[in-house]
Structure 1
Amino acid sequence: MQDGEGSGGEIPRPEVPDNVYGWRKRERERLIAARLQQPADARAQAGRLITERLRAAVGDVHGKRISLYWPFRGEPDLRPWMEEIWLGGGMALLPIVVQKGQPLVFRSWRHGERLDRGIWNIPIPADGTAADPDVVIAPLVGFDPEQYRLGYGGGFFDRTLAALQDKPLVIGVGYGSQAIETIHPQPHDIPMDRIITADIS
């Protein structure tokens, strides 16, 4: 028998914590701490492998608007790919937090252009062109087999994806060690279309 068929009951599932948000906060802290304990050169190697896999997944970037991110707290560094996107006839974007509780906005950026400091002191484009992305690359704190993403808790990506008029291709990226059994998805959570990872060795 598979999937509990004929067992007379539902498939056992992980127990949902009484306070999902408290559980997520603790899980988030645990996963970020584990990520930061990994050697920087090993994270860099994993980032290069993730970039290779993203190239294959996204394909020809010509005419595509692709949102990436500025790496934060040990996230995979995809910035070298941004210049490749421009050289391939695409547009690389960075997300900007306008204010708490509001969707992100996206502005173009390429190496050498001016940056300002945004929330959490993460660099953001000072002047770039505003555009909605065709592809969104979202960094993961954690992820589960249903392709739900555990982020930093602000809800910015979910809020943004729900607000965009044309749904982009959404790809979560991270390290294999960030896989968890479930994030205990809630009604507002939006799964990724794909998740691309690399193991840190």
Structure 2
Amino acid sequence: MSDDPQSEATEQETAEYASPPCFMHELDPEFRLMPLRSDAWSDVMRWRKAERERLIAERMAMEQEQRQTRSTRIASKLDATLGKLGGRIVGTYWPFRGEPDLRNWGIGVIKRGGRLALPVVIQKGWPLEYRIWAPGDPLERGVWNILVPSRGPAVQPDIVIAPVVGFDEARYRLGYGGGFFDRTLAAMPRKPLTIGVGYTQSQIRTIYPQPHDIPMDVIVTD
């Protein structure tokens, strides 16, 4: 499951983060080609919205077999990155809109002695709540019709696997615009190891990071 899509209007909820001003003009000469507004954050939002739509359309256009092959490669690289998982809680996700499908990999985590937790949207504007889940545990349809654990205590993951719509060289993640993931990390009492997963073509020069954006520790692609 993922940090789920919101409209541009929803992303505007975080407009209070517009200060300090964005530094898009310092990072990318193409910024000069963008129509400027008096509020730099509004430019970032418009750009992110368009880039988000482009990247999602690209991955949705992939053949299912190709997507599965790439997901398998990502799973293998995750194994190499993480090593032993016994006793650790891994926050993962239920795939949505062409995201890498790591469900079989998650079952492997359980077989290796780890535990899985899936994120649940509790309320708009709130952090996500991670709940322990294993095959056979009940699921229900949550926000955007994504399957989530229907019950279970909230837990603190040791590792969080987050799908990316896009990512840049500084490991900043372009998500769906709802702000759930950054809000969740900011609220956690201790920071987990954060790993963004996505397809190679999801890499872009910059997401034009803002003060509220939190970079991933690692990005894993196919």
Residue 96 of structure 1: which of 97, 110, 120 is its match? 120
Q: For 2:210, give the aligned amino acid.
A: Q
Deviations 1:168-189 (A, max 9, x none): 0000000000011110000000
Relative CO higher for 1 or 2, CA cutoff 8 Å, sep ≥ 6?
A: 2
Between the aligned partners of 1:188 and 1:63, the Cα distance in structure 2 is 31
Deviations 1:22-62 (A, max 9, x none): 11011100100011011110010000010011111111110
Give aligned-pair identity as a percent.
53
Between the aligned partners of 1:13 and 1:81, the Cα distance in structure 2 is 37
- Which residue is equivalent to 1:55? 79
8 Å CA contact retained: 1:82, 1:110: no
- Which residue is equivalent to 1:8? none
Between the aligned partners of 1:150 and 1:140, the Cα distance in structure 2 is 6
Residue 14 of structure 1: which of 28, 35, 52 is its match? 28
- Which residue is equivalent to 1:160? 184
- Which residue is equivalent to 1:110? 134
Q: For 2:27, give the aligned amino acid.
A: R
Q: TM-score, normalised by structure 1?
A: 0.90
Between the aligned partners of 1:180 and 1:112, the Cα distance in structure 2 is 39
Q: For 1:13, give the aligned amino acid.
A: L
What secondary structure is seen at the aligned counterpart in 2 of 1:184? coil
Between the aligned partners of 1:130 and 1:88, the Cα distance in structure 2 is 22
Residue 144 of structure 2: which of 120, 123, 135 is its match? 120
8 Å CA contact retained: 1:31, 1:141: yes
Is structure 2 residue 107 aligned with structure 1 residue 83? yes
Between the aligned partners of 1:154 and 1:13, the Cα distance in structure 2 is 24
What value does the CA root-mean-square deviation take over the aligned residues? 1.4
Between the aligned partners of 1:108 and 1:55, the Cα distance in structure 2 is 20
Q: For 1:132, give the aligned amino acid.
A: Q
- Which residue is equivalent to 2:16? none
- Which residue is equivalent to 1:145? 169
- Which residue is equivalent to 1:32? 56
Q: For 2:153, give the aligned amino acid.
A: T
- Which residue is equivalent to 2:90? 66
Query: 1:170-189, aligned counterparts within 5 Å?
Result: 170-189=194-213
Q: Provide runs of 4+ in structure 1 moved above 4 Å.
A: none
Per-residue deviation, 1:128: 2.9
More helix by share: 2
Between the aligned partners of 1:152 and 1:13, the Cα distance in structure 2 is 22
8 Å CA contact retained: 1:138, 1:171: yes
